Chains A and B, each alone.
Chain A
Amino acid sequence: MTGKVYIAQPDLEKVLSKLAGNMDVWVPAAPANGKWGVEFMPYHSGLAPILNRRSSLPPKKVLLPQMEALLRFEYQKDPQDPSKVTLRLDDPTADSLTSRPVLVFGARPCDTRGFLTLDRTFTNGPYVDAYYRKRRENTFFATLVCGEADSACFCSSVGSGPADMEGSDLRLIPVEDGYVLETLTERAAFILDSLESLALPPTEIQEAAAKQINDEISSQPASGFPPGTVEAFRGRFENLGYWQEAVEQCLSCGVCTYVCPTCYCFTITDEMKNLEGARLRSWDSCMFSHYTSEASGHNPRPTKLERYRNRVGHKFSYIPTNYDGMIGCCGCGRCIRLCPVSIDIRKVVQGLKEETCECA
């Protein structure tokens, strides 16, 4: 079993191409000329991966596509008796065809960590999401040890860190002129094996350099949120003045939920044309006004205040309550960076225990 390889920077694309021969490889790359944002996309020959800065969108869509057809159906009329209608229902999970393994290459700990929350929700509850589980079983993560924290990052505050490999199958350490890639889980052993002749073991110097970088980054102090956040949130729930201040700038636009690695709320809608249609699952957002509006017309979260409060509660109080204290946020900072009005969720959470919210 090949445990560790060294990939020289000029060989990176060769290695990715080789991997892409047996798997679907997703890498961070620039989507279009002149854009700053890096996105995860399927690797193809000629695509230059960008590994030296964080992506705008997390690789969430690899495991939870923005839209997928859960079911397809067709109404069938009996030609002898057109008023007699039966239904044909197709369930794609009944299809036992296995797809190619998927490798997410170059995600950072804050990207991969999102799947820890998604895994528990989609596969560890009383009901298992067959669509997600099928993809998850076949998906592997080669996570990059991150040296590029910016002013919006806070992974160390949520129980993670820039070298956190929880949930990852391989560790990718950027060293001078290249990378050291190391297998962490049994299930991922086949990946480096598949590189065959391209699997060059690192030299002692390269290994030492990688270890040093990893150690340095791992030893950065964690600056956790004050303990008792779960209880502080509950205590603060009815303090409308607090939430009013926190949310006054909010546009209820939902960008935070779309770019968040741990946000997974979805809606299920039917779309039909003539007699055929599909039941679709697509991304929704708890920040949208109609998210909880009931058929009677009543809406328990009528304004952005209740909705934003629920979002903060979900990540910092409800998920920890349900999942053994695991915080439902990976500290990637995307919601801060991409919020049109730069709302800083760190301030809102830190302020839960203080008297007032120093949010603006």
Chain B
Amino acid sequence: MKRIFGIAALALVVISGWAFAQVEITWWHAMSGARLGVVESIVDEFNATHPGIVVKPLFTGSYAETLTKFIAAYRTGTAPNLVQVYEVGTQTMIDSGAIIPVYQLPEMFGEEWDWGQYIIPILNYYSVDGNLWSMPFNSSTAMLYYNKDLFAKAGLDPNKPPTTWAEVEEVGKKLLESGVVEHVLSFGWPGWIFEQMHAYHNQLFANNDNGRSDLATEVLFNQDFGVMVLDTWTRLAQEGIFLYGGPEYSANQAFISGQIAMLIQSTSSLAGIEKASDFQVGTSFLPRFAGYPSGNSVIGGASLWVAKGQSEEELKAVWEFLKFLGRTEIAIQWHKGTGYFPTVNSAVKALLDEGWFSKDQNFLTAFLQILSGRRDTAAAAGVRLGPFVEIRELERAAIEKAVSGSMSPKEALDEAAQKANQLLEEYAKVIGS
């Protein structure tokens, strides 16, 4: 009796092992700090509810490092199934020949998928000719943060932040006069903010429909609009209002420690800033240039790309995971844990319904900004460039030179544009369009 039992048990184990042969999906990402925790808990939830699939997330460094490693791995045939690539890497990924566009996945498995459920500006950003190539995951945009306490101290209404750049200048002067701060405003990611201004006012940043209908061959940021923007910032710097804050997030420190009263920064910094600051934080839309058309704020962050060379089993598993990420509860979980936009409309509605935004109005600002902007023009959708990483560095250098006074805005932008165009030319040659 015992022996039969033993054999049966063994058989069961063997069969179950065989039947539940798990598909392993490796996912390389660049989410560090608190975001890493949220990634892991979402993945754990997926793995628990999807027996037969094991997603293995791996933090592979910064966005740049992750991309470099992906390329190296792909060339040895050891690429992960899924990789997170920053938004500036979009064109490179499209031209890589190493990925399967996401829109082809449901077709592969005979499924119908409603792409309209994703937030339109985000969807547009990662689409080519109306088809979605990478799955939106962590998207943010930029907005204006301001220190309500300092505003009050300076005799300004803490609930009336500036809405135009002219008002920024006015408010800035008052803040300086009152002596509460030595400088008023700074930005994070200066190059990105420069691009934001273009899209926000429906101005093209590069030709060929912002690089969306064909590879861009010429940048347009050194034309009248771009020069006007940089002129304004330079003037604000000379007045002591604008303080150049360095690349990426380095300007946050000055804002958190109360040394400046306003900060233009990624929406993903909101949670961190609220936590670290000891004053009341207010948020508002990006300041506009009055008299110019309106567009939309640009998507930043990263998206998920599906590598080629996987078995059909693996692709199915990847697709299940991507669908999971688009579920309302998961999108909400991601937003609440990191501050990035939830990727689907249903999540936005649910958040509104549960009163999430009334608990902290600041979380609503980014949404309102992006959902109220245009979504039908290439200019508002944001620019797509091959050598985007380098070009963004050129933008930053131009801003630095103009703001520090070593070059006039027009000269700085012209110099940057000339170098950028050369890069675009080389890129086109190498990709062999």
The answer to whether A and B come from one shared complex is: no
